[in-house]
Amino acid sequence: MSTIVEPRADADINYPESDGQPVAENTLQFQWITMIEGGLEALFVNDPNVFVAGDLLWYPVEGDPTISAAPDAMVVFGRPKGFRGSYLQWRENNIAPQVVFEVISPGNRPQELLHKNHFYQQYGVEEYYAYNPHNGELSGWHRVEGGWEVIPRLAGWTSPRLGVRFEFENGELAIYRPDGRRFTTFAETTRQLQVAEDEAKDAKERARRLAAQLRALGVEPELEP
């Protein structure tokens, strides 16, 4: 069951719940943001202590609302699911998001991407993945004992925290859950469910026709309970 993290007022300090920026600059970027965030939600849907969010402002430092970031998707282990207007880290047992994703658009400047990388490194992120769906490039960094390191090869890489595997198929990223299922868009998931329903209906109809043929031959078919 989800819980609601009740907001508490910090005197004289305003932590905005919006940075005034759009979630995405184009439909391709938006599709990938929603697919990754939705896939992560589904992955941990049964774990009440994993919080997943998309485009949520994260404030890591109490008392300084100028320090913030809004990852396209973030995962926080050890925090309950529930509504938040922003992620105020000091109210969350001081747990920083362990994994963040960014989906890059043509409008992202190199300085902006470098700033995000430094921000996530400085404020405790364990794994950071940046995907550019326009050219199919995925970059990744992770925290190791020696510091913040580039993940040299991401094809076939399995996230230590998430357990998901990254592959490249037909020039674009494919993310696979530990059970082997691929992250899909809502439309793809709907089509898959429709195909499964149609196949189940076809199988039921074939069974009905076979039973009718057996009865015509004087054989009473054994029906499954």
* In CATH, 27-183 is 3.40.50.2300: no
Render pLDDT for 42-53 as a digit per residue (tens, 0 to 9): 999 999 999 999
Tell me the mean pLDDT in the region 195-212: 65
| DSSP string of 178-212, one letter each residue | TTSPBP--HHHHHHHHHHHHHHHHHHHHHHHHHHH
The residue whose two tokens read 């300090």 is 13
Tell me the mean pLDDT in the region 220-225: 65
Query: Does residue 131 carry a pLDDT above 90?
Result: yes
User: What are the sequence ranges of the domains in the chain?
Assistant: 27-183, 185-220
Please state the φ and ψ torsions of residue 162, each to the nearest 5 degrees.
Answer: -90, -30
The residue whose two tokens read 């364990």 is 126
Render pLDDT for 148-171 as a digit per residue (tens, 0 to 9): 999 999 999 999 999 999 999 999
Note if the pTM is more than 0.85: no
Q: Report the alpha-carbon distance of residue 184 to residue 174 in Å, rounded.
A: 9
Q: Report the alpha-carbon distance of residue 210 to residue 219 in Å, rounded.
A: 11
Query: Does residue 214 carry a pLDDT above 90?
Result: no
Predicted local distance difference test score (pLDDT) of residue 33: 96
Q: What is the dihedral of CA 85, 89, 93, 96, to 10 degrees?
A: 110
Question: In this structure, what token pair is assigned to residue 110?
Answer: 């190199």
Question: In this structure, what token pair is assigned to residue 121?
Answer: 């490194």
Q: For the chain, where are the E strands, in sequence order?
A: 50-53, 58-59, 73-77, 87-88, 99-103, 127-132, 137-144, 147-150, 165-169, 172-176
In percent, the amount of the chain with pLDDT more than 70 equals 83
Render pLDDT for 174-188 as a digit per residue (tens, 0 to 9): 999 999 999 998 767
Predicted local distance difference test score (pLDDT) of residue 12: 74
Coil vs helix vs strand at 106: coil
